[in-house]
Chains A and B, each alone.
Chain A
Amino acid sequence: MKTLDAVIAESPVFAGLTQEQLEFIVGCAQNVHFDAGQKIASAGDPADVFYLIRMGEVALDLEVPNKKAVRIDTAEAGQPLGFSWLIPPYEWKYDVTATELVRAVAFDGACLRGKCDADPVLGYALLTRFAQVLAGRLQATRFRLLDFYGTDSH
């Protein structure tokens, strides 16, 4: 079984950080698990934590008034979950539920925010990495707007 240090160091989202930066991040992390069906976060909750999924799958749902909730995305093993810890007003935007047994690393986002404010080099490093995650999500959303599977008209 990999140590927390190894899991974090091998994650693409933390790739390229210095040993010192990684050690600080590891100090803000702990292993967690969620059972299938367990709510991980609710929209509007303070986003003082984010996750790196090690195993399993989570669903991101958006409540739509007078309609069934829409499942807008899922996140799987190897992916980071949550970026609202880095962006004001630091609130979860979606309901997040484990759809199966999930093992993850939880990070104390509030602690890391403070460290990022105090250490701009670490702050910039984390911001650029999470900006890549955000850009990937934005691109995927735009592709979905293209309606990949749209119809021809024969």
Chain B
Amino acid sequence: MAQTLTETAGSLEAMTPVPYAVTAKRQDTYDTWTLELEPVDSAPIVPGPGQFNMLYAFGVGEVPISNAGNFESDERLVHTIRAVGAVTKALCAAEVGTVIGVRGPFGNTWPIVEAKGNDVVFVAGGIGLPPLRPAIYHVLKNRKDYGRFALLYGARTPSDLVFLDEVKSWQCDYDVDLDITVDAGDTDWKGKVGLVTKLIPPAQFDADDAKAFVVGPEIMMKFVAQELINRDVPAEAINVSMERTMRCGVGLCGHCQIGPTLVCRDGACYTWDEVESLIAVKEL
């Protein structure tokens, strides 16, 4: 059962990083690594699908990173991190045995159990695939409980695609309608080229009966949501994960505020009808 520390705002537990050791590390792309973490001397954190942890590179800083592991069978924390700033570069440079701080889990979860009986459509952009993995694992484990399963994945280039072997194995083993596109390829790339939105019209799912889960940059989610709505998927059936600057994780600091909502407390998972009007506000 997933925990959340979000409701313990102000408590010592919510604000104190717990020491975790890096027990495995894998380079996914030229700038992205996946870390597996185990607690040094405490009970393991059990994040649910869609939740995030605050990872603390001691002496450098703290960042929110989505859970990317299998919450139902794995007691290790799995986080996929792109090295783009000082903190993420420090985390990606952590070798096996390095101790980092972890606070969490924070935020709400994907309504993946509630989607039982529906077709499910996962749309991932760039490094948006890892935050979807826990929900995907749940569907794969309970495959018969769900209808058609479409996974649509877009990235900047072929070398930016993460977990490609794993994704292809899902296609074969679990009857997943997998479609991948990149913004730019070369002649060695055998897949599609173009925006991830082009994958939506031909995807195999029943719009009246589908639940969509979308993770990527907000601009991508906006156009993906529009394309899903063009296929008559209701806005309330489109789930997105908002990525704002989370700091405290418990709704106190206000860094992640969008209009009336605090992403760390009320999200990061929202339905499109909840956030569409907020995303439309300039500079919000």
Contact = CB atoms under 8 A, between A and B. Distances in A.
Contacts of A74: 181, 191-194
Interface in B160-218: 160, 181, 183-198, 201-202, 216-217
A76 B201 CA distance: 11
A70 B157 CA distance: 11
B63 interface: yes
Interface stretch (B14-22, B80-88, B257-265): B80-88
Interface string B27-65: 000000000000000000000000000000000010100
Contacts of A154: 61, 63, 84-88
A146 interface: yes
B156 A149 contact: yes
B155 interface: yes
B87 A70 contact: no
B35 to A, nearest CB: 15
Interface string A67-96: 011111110111000000000000000000
Nearest to A61: B187
B189 A71 contact: yes
Interface in A104-154: 140, 143-144, 146-154
Contact of A72 (B154, B193, B217): B193
A119 B198 CA distance: 34
A149 B126 CA distance: 5
A147 B156 CA distance: 7
Given A154-B85, A154-B87, A154-B88, A148 B192 contact: no
A74 to B, nearest CB: 5
A74 B198 CA distance: 10
B82 A148 contact: no
Contacts of A146: 219
Contacts of A144: 183-184, 195
B125 interface: yes
B195 A143 contact: yes
Contacts of A143: 195, 219, 223
B52 to A, nearest CB: 12
A105 to B, nearest CB: 18
A98 interface: no
Interface in B245-284: none
A60 B194 CA distance: 11
Contact of B184 (A57, A70, A99, A152): A70
B243 interface: yes
A148 B186 contact: no
B135 interface: no
Given A59-B193, A71-B189, A74-B192, A148 B184 contact: no
Contact of B195 (A72, A78, A99, A148): A148
A68 B186 contact: yes
A148 B222 CA distance: 11
A140 B84 contact: no
B127 interface: yes
B85 A148 contact: no
A60 B184 CA distance: 11
Nearest to A136: B198
A34 to B, nearest CB: 16
26 contacts: A57-B192, A59-B187, A68-B186, A68-B187, A70-B184, A70-B186, A71-B193, A72-B184, A74-B191, A74-B192, A74-B193, A74-B194, A76-B198, A77-B202, A78-B202, A140-B197, A143-B219, A148-B125, A148-B154, A149-B125, A149-B127, A149-B155, A149-B156, A149-B183, A151-B84, A154-B63
Q: Which 3 pairs from chain A and chain B are nearest by CB?
A: A149-B126, A151-B84, A71-B185
